[in-house]
């Protein structure tokens, strides 16, 4: 989701500041796209970009027995802040320092539920990214520290424009809400227990190497030092009226996990110039534990984008996914969602609406009520 950290704003902390030009508005090797802030230069001519997102949402959840309207932080993305420092060693080599924090959150969406925790704060700051990287135009990029591993974000390729509202991990929006068991009147299983997008190793302390892009293709590998390693690849192209992107990964975590052996997966998306799009994703988590079935899912979405106003494009997506064995053998969870995202291009921000139904059945208990959720939220870039 790095594309949502598009608009960067600088804070003057050096000796002088200079306007960001169209030719150099993207830090080499960094995740910022189309920055429109200011870069800050100090005495050694390094430059700093400060960026972040603030996101809030209203979440209505109904488990068939209870319902509540919750005021929460975010969903697919949470409020955060970051800094990227860049310095050019020469015309071919750029050195990058990147720090990104999860800030303290009021009512984090993954913590609230209908079982007595309708509100609560998480005041702690959490380190998302802390790395130093060297990027060479011809030989690629070498990164050291905590950041995305090579497998991260390979299952979230999505050209529909609705990924902020209607992505392939239903737990992002209401992960703490329980399914109500009609048989015994209990709430012991949450949406987050039975839905997961299997995003590789995700962020970790690692050494990562990215090859230079070659004709739209990219390849990366990383190792976390504790025994886990992964590889990832992606490809993007245009063919006539079609824009296409795809990615895949393999991650071996047998050396660091007591329960998991490895995982693999991928995603792909194609969009026609008319605005119609189709997105698919899936992944498998191979278990190390005896007699525990492998967890896996398949998910798809049909989308449509249209320019209804001069504020920005409006995106609509309808999704369906099936998720198996994430909590125990025989679990079968299904989700069906409708997501709408309105872009506000002048400020690089978004408004979303999500309507989604969650269903769970188990081999020894098929008597769970569905969980119905509606989320209306906004994400502001700075």
Helix (H) or strand (E) holding 100: strand 93-102
pLDDT above 80: residue 20: no
pLDDT at 226: 86
In the chain, % helix, strand, coil (3-state, to 5) comes to 5, 55, 40
SS3 197: coil
pLDDT above 90: residue 31: no
pLDDT at 10: 35
- From the CB of residue 33, how many other CB atoms can be counted at a distance below 10 Å? 15
Secondary structure E strands in 103-241: 105-106, 121-122, 126-136, 140-148, 178-181, 186-190, 203-210, 217-223, 229-239
Helix (H) or strand (E) holding 47: strand 47-62
* Cβ neighbours for 266, distance < 8 A, ≥ 6 positions apart: 154, 155, 246, 247, 248, 249, 281, 282, 283
- CA gap 48, 10 in Å, rounded: 7
Between vectors from CA 75 to CA 34 and to CA 165, what angle results, nearest 5°?
Answer: 70
Which residue has better confidence, 324 or 117? 324
Summarize pLDDT for 232-267 with one digit per residue, the tens: 999 999 999 999 999 999 999 998 988 899 999 999
pLDDT over 70, % of the chain = 87
Cβ burial, residue 92 (10 Å; 0-12/13-18/19+): exposed
SS3 175: coil
Rounded average pLDDT over 155-177? 94
Domain ranges of the chain: 2-381
Which tokens in the block code for residue 136?
Answer: 């060479």
Summarize pLDDT for 183-202 with one digit per residue, the tens: 888 999 999 999 999 999 99
User: In the beta sheet, which residues pair with residue 333?
Assistant: 323, 360
- CA gap 153, 151 in Å, rounded: 7
- CA gap 274, 234 in Å, rounded: 24
Which tokens in the block code for residue 288?
Answer: 């190390």
pLDDT at 243: 98
Which tokens in the block code for residue 16?
Answer: 């002088």
Q: What is the DSSP string of 301-315?
A: EEEEEEEEETTEEEE
Q: Which of 172, 214, 178, 215 is nearest to 78 (CA)?
A: 172
For 14, 26, 63, 146, the CA distances from 98, given in Å and listed in that order, are: 17, 14, 41, 10
User: In the beta sheet, which residues pair with residue 380?
Assistant: 54
Confidence of residue 123 (pLDDT cuts 50, 70, 90): confident
Q: State CA 238 to chain mean position distance.
A: 24
Q: Which of 180, 162, 33 is nearest to 115 (CA)?
A: 180
Cβ burial, residue 348 (10 Å; 0-12/13-18/19+): buried
- From the CB of residue 335, how many other CB atoms can be counted at a distance below 10 Å? 27
Confidence of residue 119 (pLDDT cuts 50, 70, 90): low
Q: For residues 40-76, b (16+ Cβ closer than 10 Å) or e, as one string?
A: bbeeeebbbbbbbbbbbbebebbbeeeeeebebbbbb
| Residues 167 and 157 sit within 8 Å (Cβ to Cβ) | no
Fold classification of 2-381 is: Porin (2.40.160)
Helix (H) or strand (E) holding 172: helix 171-174
Summarize pLDDT for 60-114 with one digit per residue, the tens: 999 999 999 999 987 788 899 999 999 999 999 999 999 999 888 888 888 888 8
Which residue has better confidence, 120 or 323? 323
Summarize pLDDT for 275-304 with one digit per residue, the tens: 999 999 999 999 988 888 999 999 999 999
pLDDT at 115: 82
| Residues 201 and 368 sit within 8 Å (Cβ to Cβ) | no
Confidence of residue 25 (pLDDT cuts 50, 70, 90): very low
């Amino acid at each position: 989701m790095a594309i949502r950290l598009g608009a960067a704003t600088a804070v003057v902390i050096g000796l002088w500041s200079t306007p960001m030009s169209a030719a150099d508005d993207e830090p080499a090797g960094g995740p910022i796209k189309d920055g429109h802030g200011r870069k800050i230069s100090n005495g050694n001519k390094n430059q700093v970009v400060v960026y972040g997102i603030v996101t809030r949402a209203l979440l209505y959840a109904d488990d068939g027995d209870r319902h509540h309207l919750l005021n929460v932080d975010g969903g697919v993305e949470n409020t955060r802040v970051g800094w990227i420092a860049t310095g050019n060693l020469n015309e071919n080599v750029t050195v990058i320092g990147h720090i990104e924090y999860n800030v303290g959150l009021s009512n984090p969406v993954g913590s609230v539920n209908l079982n007595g925790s309708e509100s609560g704060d998480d005041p702690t700051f959490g380190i998302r990214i802390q790395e130093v990287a060297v990027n060479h135009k011809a030989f690629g990029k070498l990164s050291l520290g905590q950041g995305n591993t090579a497998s991260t974000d390979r299952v979230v390729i999505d050209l529909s424009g609705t990924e902020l509202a209607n992505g392939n991990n239903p737990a992002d929006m209401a992960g703490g809400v329980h399914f109500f068991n009609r048989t015994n009147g209990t709430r012991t299983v949450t949406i987050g227990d039975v839905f997961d997008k299997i995003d590789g190793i995700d962020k970790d302390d690692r050494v990562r190497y990215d090859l230079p892009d070659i004709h739209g293709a990219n390849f990366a590998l990383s190792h976390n030092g504790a025994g886990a390693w992964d590889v990832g690849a992606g490809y993007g192209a245009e063919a006539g009226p079609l824009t296409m992107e795809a990615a895949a990964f393999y991650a071996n975590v047998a050396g660091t996990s007591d329960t998991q052996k490895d995982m693999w997966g991928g995603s792909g998306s194609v969009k026609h110039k008319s605005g119609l799009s189709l997105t698919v994703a899936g992944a498998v988590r191979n278990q190390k534990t005896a007699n525990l079935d492998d967890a896996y899912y398949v998910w798809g979405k049909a989308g449509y984008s249209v320019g209804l106003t001069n504020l920005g494009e409006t995106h609509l997506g309808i999704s369906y996914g099936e998720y198996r064995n994430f909590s125990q053998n025989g679990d079968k969870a299904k989700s069906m969602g409708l997501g709408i995202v309105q872009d506000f291009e002048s400020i690089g921000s978004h408004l979303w609406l999500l309507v989604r139904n969650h269903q769970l059945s188990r081999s020894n208990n098929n008597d769970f009520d569905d969980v119905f959720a509606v989320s209306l939220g906004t994400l502001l870039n700075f």
